[in-house]
Amino acid sequence: MSLATICGVTLLRSLIISILGVLLSRHLSHLINAGRSKRSFLLLILILTPFLVPELIVGYAWSLISLKLVHYPLLIELIYSSLVLLKVVPVGIVCFYFSSPFISTEADYIRKSVNSNSTPLSDLKTHWSFFLWKHLLPSLPVGVLLFLLAFQEFEMASLIYRDSWMVWVFDAQAGGVPISETISFLTGPLLIELVVIAGVLYCLTRIQFQPRLDLLSNVKQSSFLSTVQSWGYVLTAFFVVVVIPFSLTGWGGLISLGSLFQNQLQLTETLRECIWGLVYGVTSAIGAWGLASFFFSRNQPRHLKLLGFLFCLPGLCGSLTLSIVMANLFLTDSGHWLYDTPLAFFIALVLFLFPRAVFLKLIILASQENDSLYLTRLLSLSKNQTQSQSGGYLHWSVNGKMQYWAVVLLAFWAYWDVTISSILAPNNTMTSSIRLYGLMHYGQNSVLSAMTFLNFCIPVLISLLFFPIVRILWMTVSDRSTMNKTV
């Protein structure tokens, strides 16, 4: 099929996924808001886990199942679309969870209770206004975000052999098409993304000056049937996106780890590529998080935050578009000598991670309370050493711990990136995701499952091992800064 046809198919699929994702996200966010118990925390973990599983692992696990259904293309399309939907819904849930409504429950109840046709609250204009401010405008930014995630999905579409403009352009570029010609292929998809982003920016400018309501005072009680349905969806998503992929790769990988360790050449190459992936992932994550903290600190002026949102635009256009544009810039006469260096790769990863870092930064700011942060800082400034240490520990618990896991999550995304790594990574510092992506197209085998499982476990274990080390360093730096302020 032509690129225009494939782009149209991807557009239609992404629109359907985004609409369904908004409906599911709104419903499940109300379920989380129904309480602050351990059950709600467990539900939140179960909801977010499918989004954190790398698309490369999900696509690899489901590729074998899709091959058995090769004579049923509609069923394969349904499987792929369902996987993408289950992957993007957690993002929508987080957005709705931290958003505030514009129409209170009381105001909507008063509108519904007025049945007289002569009252101004029952005319069509009023009904449309309530629908606009209660459902459409709050859901539009979330829907656009889910649309971009579905529209730019690459790894699962490639491994399950589904039509996607990302796969078409990537295969053309990998097949030897010059970068200058590949850029022309991006015109249609990039125009769609820019129109969607411009639309949501216009929406945000309309609603930013509207009064916000207290989210906790507008908690919607869920019925028993609604609760059962929500738990059914959550458990199904967890089983499809988490249990099935890791049961196929993890079990086979554990069995074949011995064979992988016996092959010293293959093990050394795997570990070397994994280390390079960690180096690029950690450095780019720290860079992206530093920029997000600079532009979106709590007391930053508005014009600086607007500039930060402008810097989000390259990353919002997708990893493939960003990497091809960066490659074209570094292949010019003046910049070609920097192309096969880590600089181009690092810049592209930072720009790709920056919108995600901003998203995490805004979530952390929304979840933190100014009073608690202020009290922990006052306690850390105490001249009593015990109180000062307690203040530093509380400040780590309130602020530092969330920042650490935010950087870990950004590094994890960069570690599993395929498109930017394959186009911009230097030949002598290739990452593990590129090699795994290439091998996964030849089918599933136990050694490949062991390599995949090992490449997944290494960054997870390192993040857990470094957690107490970073906490100690945080406490030490906090104590020294406190001593300098009190002296």
pLDDT in tens, 177-192: 888 888 889 999 999 9
Domain shared by 248 and 269, yes or no: no
**What pLDDT, on the 0 to 100 scale, is given for residue 487?**
38
Domain shared by 55 and 103, yes or no: yes
Domain shared by 361 and 475, yes or no: yes
* Domain end position, chosen among 226, 256, 286: 256
pLDDT in tens, 308-365: 999 999 999 999 999 999 988 888 777 777 777 888 899 999 999 999 999 999 888 8
Domain shared by 246 and 307, yes or no: no
Decide: residue 245, CB within 10 A, 0-12 exposed, 13-18 middle, 19+ buried. buried
Q: Which amino acid is at 388?
A: S
Distance set, CA 364 to CA 370, 399, 486 (Å): 12, 8, 29
Domain shared by 246 and 357, yes or no: no
Domain shared by 142 and 285, yes or no: no
Q: Which CATH number fits the domain that encloses residue 45?
A: 1.10.3720
Domain shared by 151 and 210, yes or no: yes
In whole angstroms, what is the distance from residue 200 CA to residue 223 CA?
33
Q: What is the pTM of this model?
A: 0.88
In whole angstroms, what is the distance from residue 442 CA to residue 337 CA?
35
Structural domain tally of the chain? Answer: 2
Q: What percent of the chain has pLDDT over 90?
A: 42
**What pLDDT, on the 0 to 100 scale, is given for residue 215?**
46
SS3 279: helix
Domain shared by 180 and 318, yes or no: no
Domain shared by 346 and 441, yes or no: yes
pLDDT in tens, 418-442: 999 999 888 788 889 999 999 998 8
Whether the CB-CB separation of 260 and 269 falls below 8 Å is answered with: no
Domain shared by 269 and 219, yes or no: no
Domain shared by 202 and 291, yes or no: no
Q: Which CATH number fits the domain that encloses residue 363?
A: 1.10.3720.10
**What pLDDT, on the 0 to 100 scale, is given for residue 485?**
46
How far is residue 478 CA from its own chain's centroid? 30
* Domain end position, chosen among 256, 277, 309: 256
Q: What percent of the chain has pLDDT over 70?
A: 79
* Domain end position, chosen among 208, 236, 256: 256
Domain shared by 431 and 486, yes or no: yes
- Secondary structure (DSSP) of 231-246: HHHHHHHHIIIIIHHH
In whole angstroms, what is the distance from residue 280 CA to residue 16 CA?
35
Q: Which residues fall within 8 angstroms of residue 50, CB to CB, at 6 or more apart?
A: 86, 87, 89, 90, 237, 238, 240, 241, 242
- Structural domain harbouring 249: 1-256
Give the other-Cβ count within 10 Å of 25's Cβ: 25
Distance set, CA 447 to CA 67, 191, 217, 270 (Å): 20, 42, 54, 12
